[in-house]
Amino acid sequence: MIVYITRNGPPEAMHCPVFLCNACGEPIQGREGGSGLGGIVIWRNHPDRTQDIATVHKGACDLAHEAAHPGESWSWEDFDVFMEQLTNNTADPFPVEDNVEYVAPAPSRWRLGHYQRR
């Protein structure tokens, strides 16, 4: 989940956006050495087009989330790849292409493009 952590004092107070781990509640920060991020984004789609999404640390928190949801299938993406995709989809979203449709999960009704089954 995304939250703003409040930073008090000098030189100024500010709000710092971070992802919190859905398993342990701690901020998800970079790996030691600064190579990529130490978390993953996980999600699952339901037949009614709704979606569950969570952010967890790799390793123990990822395994704890999996253990808390036995038998459920979740997709996942490394945080560095997710952030690259998010930035791209914000700056240059959804090119119109032949036979391609983008569909947002419920409750949104947003769609773009047209897909024909062959």
pLDDT in tens, 13-32: 889 899 999 999 999 986 65
Q: What is the pTM (predicted TM-score) of this model?
A: 0.78
The pLDDT of residue 1 is: 84
CB 51 within 8 A of CB 45: yes
The Cα–Cα gap between 93 and 14 comes to 30
The residue with greater pLDDT, 116 or 48, is 48
The pLDDT of residue 55 is: 94
The pLDDT of residue 47 is: 87
Domain boundaries, the chain: 2-114
Q: pLDDT of 70-82, one tens digit each?
A: 988 899 999 889 9
Long-range CB pairs of 3-10 (<8 Å, 24+ gap) are none
